[in-house]
Every structure is written in C-alpha cells, then in structure tokens.
Structure 1
Amino acid sequence: DQWEVAARYDDGRLYPWGNDFDAAKANTGEGESVGQTTAVGIYPAGMQPTLKLYDLSGNVWEWCRNKYSNLAMETADESGDSRALRGG
C-alpha cells in the first residue's frame, strides 16, 4: 500500500518526472531499454522530484501484500489467494 501511495502521489504530473512520456527516464521495455531489471537509480532523470523517489515508473512489477482488486485502492476480498501487482 505504501508503494502505491507514493507512486500515485498527485503533484499534477502524469509521470514521476513530468507530463510527457520519455523512455529514457524509466526502464519500460520501450525505446533503448536495457531489456532486464536494473538497480535503483539507474534512471536518475526519472526521479520524482517532490518526494525524491526513484523508479516509480518502469523496471519491475511490485508484488504487494494486499489482495488483488480490479480497482486501485479499493478494499479487496481478503478470502482469495491472488495478490496485487503494481507498477511495471
């Protein structure tokens, strides 16, 4: 849940770095992507400047402890085995 709150932080930007997509600012598998998971901070230009967090977009999916739900931040059915994947 904490990761999603940080990733969805609303300071008016569409992406952590601004309003225009730029494949050079995140490991997204598009453009000149390295084609594999990278260490945190490899894309410093993609840093979210307000919170000073790296890699909120791209790189890997986050396997979250909360249960899967179709709607973000909705209280999910805790009886199932499926977990949420966020980001990527």
Structure 2
Amino acid sequence: MKEELRAGKTWNNAMELGFGRAWSSIKDANTCTIITGLILFNPFNWPFLNNSGMVRGFAVTLLIGIFLGMFTGVFVTRNLLRVLARKKI
C-alpha cells in the first residue's frame, strides 16, 4: 500500500491494489501449511507416518490457526480498513 500511495493513488485504490497483490502470497503460503497440517494429521492412517495423538492434536491446532488467521487477516482486516477509509480517520 505504501508504494501505491507514493505513486499518487487514492487511499481506497491503494488499499484494494495492495490487498489484491498480497492475496497470491497469502494463498500460497497458507495452502502449503494446510497441506502440511493434513499430512501431519494422517487422515488415511498411512503406516509410514507418525500416528500419535500428540501429532494429530498439533495438526488440528495448526489447521484451526491457519483457517482463523486467513479469515481474520483477509476478511476482517480488509473490512475494517474499508470502514476506516469511509470515515476518513
């Protein structure tokens, strides 16, 4: 967003462009972590993976954290910034 504001864009345009550019990185990083969490959870009970309860508990906690982080980071933050932009604080 800083680069867009320096380029002379309005706050709303800079915010939308910034979120649009950041979305691909956020999506890629969280997709890789979700795949890792699913492998750790071992839903198919593959014998070559660790199947202990502690590892599965960590995987569940990791997946919940990723989904909540994506939700708050993308949707809540974007909507809060939109509200602040409308109020011009």
- Structure of higher CA gyration radius: 2
Higher strand proportion (structure 1 or 2): 1
Q: Give TM-score, length-normalised by structure 2.
A: 0.23
Q: Give TM-score, length-normalised by structure 1.
A: 0.23
